[in-house]
Amino acid sequence: MPEEQETIGGTIAVSNENGTEANYPSRSPIMKGKNTLAKVTLLDGTVKDVIIERKAKGQELIDTICRSMNLLEKDYFGLIYEDKHDLRNWLDLDRRIGKFVKSEPWKFSFEVKFYPPDPAQLHEDITRYQLCLQIRNDIVTGRLPCSFVTHALLGSYLVQSEVGDYDIQEHDKTYLKDFKFAPNQTPELIEKVMDLHKTHKGQTPAEAELHYLENAKKLAMYGVDLHPAKDSEGVDIMLGVCSSGLLVHRDRLRINRFAWPKILKISYKRHNFYIKIRPGEFEQYESTIGFKLSNHRAAKKLWKVCVEHHTFFRLMSPDPVKKVGLLPQLGSRFRYSGRTHYETKKIPIERQPPQFERSLSGRRLTSRSMDALGGSPVGSYGSEPSKRHTMSYEPEIIPDMEHIDQRPSPIKKQKDKNTAQRKRLQCTHIRYCKPYTRA
């Protein structure tokens, strides 16, 4: 028998005796006709079952998941699904889920999509905790490489967050057996984590997690979304998209970096991906650099990730989506329409710090947030052009290429306290065009 039922939006969350939770829509029969089951794996490894309409959009599903987690800063997160080619893709939240996921039940992973450059600026501890879970998963799976010393230091903060202060009477040599700190964990690493854990006495879980994030954000691959490719000479490389721009890695070393302000255009055609670079101080002409990806789908996936990261981290608000007219539309309809990083930081959160369970090693511990590090609430900015460092104009149509075109926009001098921040956020206009095909 269910122990608890709670209405969440149009669904009912049911917690069973074994700890699993399922969401069922109110006033609707389960799994009949227009409904289907979505299984969402959270960052702590638990699976949440949600009964949802087949015509529902991705935003409805992620809103339900975030409400059940009591998570308000949801713009940093997204849903991952595997397509028929077993490739991981971010779910487009503005479109129907059924257009992307065909097999039932629908399966997703709830993950961090946009890694904040400064986690201390997040409003709530529960958001930082979810980011800790994501980074822990990245480290354990090898996606976020780090040294032995860093493994030990980060691991010691995870232990402090979950078990508290080291106690010689309670903690013997086996108290870390349930923890996973590295892909290839050794007894030497466990011993080093134990030694460092003893030095964190007095830190609250929230403080330990903040120290964890402050050290993790300094790692070279923090928040980098990697895509395998080849350069113009056919050498295998990895293209990484992050908050600051586009990175080029070869043999685990970064060989080049293209910051967003330096990139004029990002485009793809078939399986080729191109970036047009602004001329340097002693250069006269723009330059274009091309990369080869495995296929057209991989090139378009990389292009979309670039669009989303540029919009989220560089714009003060996303470009408005134009209504579809009667004439055929040559420009791509794909846009990032969520809140930007700038808008997310400005949204005030007025509530008591929520209680939540910490389970960094898979064990369940309930604790309350101990600090408020998000800063004072500030009113949010809307999408008015006067509040954005962008300039709207009608783009020209390039018939054979889908691209982003970025052009610098003038910034008016302002004498308020936000001038420095707005100059740092100076961005460029983005336009999108789909390849034109003659009949």
Radius of gyration of the chain from Cα atoms? Answer: 23
Name the β-bridge partners of 106: 38
The CATH-assigned architecture of domain 4-112 is: Roll (3.10)
pLDDT in tens, the chain (439 residues): 333 333 334 444 443 434 445 555 444 445 557 899 999 999 999 999 999 999 999 999 999 999 999 999 999 999 999 988 888 999 999 999 999 998 889 999 999 999 999 999 999 999 999 999 999 999 999 999 999 999 999 999 999 999 999 999 999 989 998 899 999 999 999 999 999 999 999 999 999 999 999 999 999 999 999 999 999 999 999 999 999 999 999 998 999 999 999 999 999 999 999 999 998 777 778 899 999 999 999 999 999 999 999 999 988 876 666 555 555 554 456 666 789 999 999 988 889 888 888 876 655 444 444 343 333 333 333 333 332 332 232 333 333 444 444 444 433 334 444 444 444 444 454 444 444 333 3
- Which CATH topology does 225-315+389-433 take? PH-domain like (2.30.29)
Chain mean position to CA 127: 12
> For residues 54 and 13, what is the distance between their CA atoms, to the nearest angstrom?
19
> For residues 327 and 307, what is the distance between their CA atoms, to the nearest angstrom?
25
> For residues 96 and 56, what is the distance between their CA atoms, to the nearest angstrom?
6
Structure tokens at 67: 């409400």
CB atoms within 10 A of CB 145: 15
Q: Specify whether the CB–CB gap between 436 and 397 falls below 8 A.
A: yes
> For residues 360 and 340, what is the distance between their CA atoms, to the nearest angstrom?
29
The CATH-assigned architecture of domain 119-216 is: Up-down Bundle (1.20)
Q: Specify whether the CB–CB gap between 383 and 317 falls below 8 A.
A: yes
Domain with CATH 1.20.80.10 in the chain: 119-216
> For residues 214 and 270, what is the distance between their CA atoms, to the nearest angstrom?
40
> For residues 271 and 273, what is the distance between their CA atoms, to the nearest angstrom?
7
Q: Specify whether the CB–CB gap between 257 and 248 falls below 8 A.
A: yes
Verify cis geometry, omega within 30 degrees of 0, for the bond prior to 354.
Answer: no
Domain with CATH 2.30.29.30 in the chain: 225-315+389-433
> For residues 179 and 327, what is the distance between their CA atoms, to the nearest angstrom?
59
Domain with CATH 3.10.20.90 in the chain: 4-112
Task: Tell me the C-alpha to C-alpha distance, in Å, between residue 147 and each of 142, 144, 181, 242.
Answer: 12, 10, 12, 21
